[in-house]
Amino acid sequence: MDKDSAHKYNCNFCDYETSRVVCLRNHMMDHTGERPFECDLCPASFKQKSQITVHKRIHTGEKPFKCHLCLYSAVISGHLKSHLLTHTGEKPFKCHLCPYSANRNGSLKRHLLIHIVPFTTVMEII
């Protein structure tokens, strides 16, 4: 058991709680608006160094995550992971209201709109 896990750190502005001080520090930036990692090519800024590393790939065009089945490449590993589902046909995102399933969470979220708003409104949103 490490020293952080024995103590709970609480946010002074909301009911967020964590056992890691570094997580609380990162969370506090949501309240303060602090974004110390600034892009030197555009006005974007970020809370974490890893976020600016990924962002800079927009400017460089770097897409280090390559599909081994086709020519697709991605800026972040999560995009490649989602893409690979198009090859396997797997659709892990299931609608709890009907038989619909999707290979991307965003597709499921868009689908869920048909259950809560009229179809004409959905088409206007999309």
> Could you give phi then psi for residue 94, rounded to 5 degrees?
-105, 135
SS (H, E, C) 33-87: CCCCEECCCCCCEECCHHHHHHHHHHHHCCCCEECCCCCCEECCHHHHHHHHHHH
* Ordered structural domains, the chain, with CATH: 7-61 (3.30.160.60)
Residue 126's pLDDT band, with cuts at 50, 70 and 90, is low
* Model pLDDT for residues 41-96, shown as the tens digit of each residue: 999 999 999 999 999 999 999 999 999 999 999 999 999 999 999 999 999 999 99
CA atoms within 13 A on the CB side of 114: 11
